[in-house]
Amino acid sequence: VYPAFTAVTGLSITINLTANATVQFWSTGSLETTSGVNGGSGCHVQVFNNGVGINSSLQTVDVVDPGGYTGTIAPWSVSGYQVLTPGAYTYTVRACKYAFDNFYAGGNTTSPVPNEGTLIVHVYY
C-alpha cells in the first residue's frame, strides 16, 4: 500500500468522448530530492483517470543524492492506453514518496529552472 498520491502541478487533461475510443497517454517529467539527509528519495509516479490509478502506468523513481547534498533530479516517463466508452475523463499525473527524504515534482522553484513535465493524450475513434 502506497502513501497518498499528490497531483503534479499542471499535468491534467480532460477529454469528452462522443463514441467508444482507444485513448493513448504519455507523461514525462522530473523529480528533485529536497534533502540529502537520507541520501535521496524513493518516489512513485502514476497516471490516474478520474481519480483512479492506472496500474500499467506506475513507475518507481529513485532520486539518489550523495550524503549532505540536495538538488539531484531524476526523470520519469510513463505511457499506456485504455479503451473507453463515451463520457468525460480527466487524466492526471500524481506522485508519492515511499521512502527516505521528500521531493518536488513539477512547479519546483528551488532549482535554477522549475522542474516541468508533460502529459499528452491522444484519442482514436
What local confidence, expressed as pLDDT, does residue 78 receive? 94
Average pLDDT of the chain, as a whole number = 84
Question: How do residues 24-62 score in pLDDT, each as one tens digit?
Answer: 999 998 887 776 677 778 888 999 999 999 999 999 888
Instruction: Give the mean model confidence (pLDDT) for residues 1-13.
Output: 82
pLDDT interval class at 108 (50, 70, 90): low
What local confidence, expressed as pLDDT, does residue 110 receive? 52
Chain centroid to CA 82: 17
